[in-house]
Amino acid sequence: MNIEKLKLDPRMPKHIAFIIDGNGRWAKHRGQARSVGHKVGADNVKKQIELVRELGIKNLSLYCFSSENWKRPKKETDYLMTLFDQMIDEYRDKYIKENVKIIFSGDFNDERIPAIVREKAKKLMSDTADKTDFILNLCINYGGRQEILKAVNELINENVKIVDDKLFEKHLYTADMLPLDLVIRTSGEQRSSNFMPWQTTYSEWIYPKKCWPAYSKNDLIKSLKAYMKRNRRFGEIKE
């Protein structure tokens, strides 16, 4: 597939999200530990970010760890936190140099996240706050309902009397991002699992069967082509 041609297509999405799913099952099918799936999954995250950037898409959100994922065995959540720590170290210099803004969506005051990860994430966020080429949104300890409640509580604290869409969105983690056009959830599961209830009201959803570690460059291109064939009406009928 000619990436240059795809890039120029006006129907290309501007903001896409991956709900990274199926790491554990992918490893299990191969007779390996779930942690192997998470490691290969983290490597694939790096590859997919590069491909998304190469395609000229300007915003990417990645659902990496939900506020409900603490219900997993401690061994697994510990390992995932280690991977996030490594991810931050690996991304830091590269993305600062490449003018990429990195934001973390989720509760980073939660002490279940290791202090070092919380500190590094906050620092990376402030060090890239003025970057303009691309926005990478890492959703870690993220829950959509919690995000809405966070916004509501901030507005209450500001003594706001009336709220409209625009003001409300200023209090979401995605305040600086473009509208979310497309959500891709791998592994065949067809549900949101608490991912961005506000932002996805008119997003398109695609559910590739492949588990995340196996989701390739060609699979992303296929998902994008399927998205571009959709007719997004936003409730409107044109006479």
In the residue annotation, 69 being an active-site residue is answered as yes
Q: What contacts 24+ positions apart, CB below 8 Å, involve 187-190?
A: 187/21, 187/22, 187/25, 187/26, 187/211, 187/212, 188/22, 189/21, 189/22
Encoding tokens for residue 181? 């056009």
**Options 9, 44, 69, 181, the catalytic residue:** 69
Could you give the strand order of the β-sheet that contains 59-66, starting from the edge strand earlier in sequence? 100-105, 134-142, 59-66, 15-19, 182-185, 204-206
Question: Does residue number 224 form part of the binding site for ligand IPE (CB under 6 A)?
Answer: no
Among 6, 12, 14, 25, contact with ligand IPE (rule: CB under 6 A): 25
Q: How far apart are CA 142 and CA 197, in angstroms?
A: 12
HSE toward the beta carbon, residue 75, CA cutoff 13 A = 3
Among 80, 121, 136, 196, contact with ligand IPE (rule: CB under 6 A): 80
Q: First-to-last CA distance in the chain?
A: 36
Question: Does residue number 144 form part of the binding site for ligand IPE (CB under 6 A)?
Answer: no
CB 20 within 8 A of CB 45: yes
- Report which DSSP code applies to 191: S
Question: Does residue number 136 form part of the binding site for ligand IPE (CB under 6 A)?
Answer: no
Question: Does residue number 203 form part of the binding site for ligand IPE (CB under 6 A)?
Answer: no
CB 212 within 8 A of CB 20: yes
Instruction: Kindly indicate which of the ranges 43-51, 109-117, 127-135, 186-194 contains the residues binding ligand IPE, using the contact rule CB under 6 A.
Output: 186-194
**Contact letters (x/-) for ligand IPE, 33-52, by CB under 6 A?**
--------x-----------
Distance in Å, CB of 18 to Mg ion, minimum? 13
Question: Does residue number 65 form part of the binding site for ligand IPE (CB under 6 A)?
Answer: yes
Q: Which residue is nearest to ligand IPE (CB)?
A: 24
Interacting partner of 63 out of Mg ion, ligand IPE, none (Cβ under 5 to 8 A depending on kind) = ligand IPE
Question: Does residue number 19 form part of the binding site for ligand IPE (CB under 6 A)?
Answer: yes
Contacts with ligand IPE: how many residues (CB under 6 A)?
18
Question: Does residue number 20 form part of the binding site for ligand IPE (CB under 6 A)?
Answer: yes
Compute, in degrees rounded to 10, the torsion defined by CA atoms 154, 178, 213, 220: 160
DSSP element (H, E) containing 218: helix 217-229
**Positions in the binding site for Mg ion (CB under 5 A):** 21
**Residues labelled catalytic:** 21, 69
Residue numbers at the binding site for ligand IPE (CB under 6 A): 19-25, 41, 63-66, 69, 80, 187, 189, 191, 193
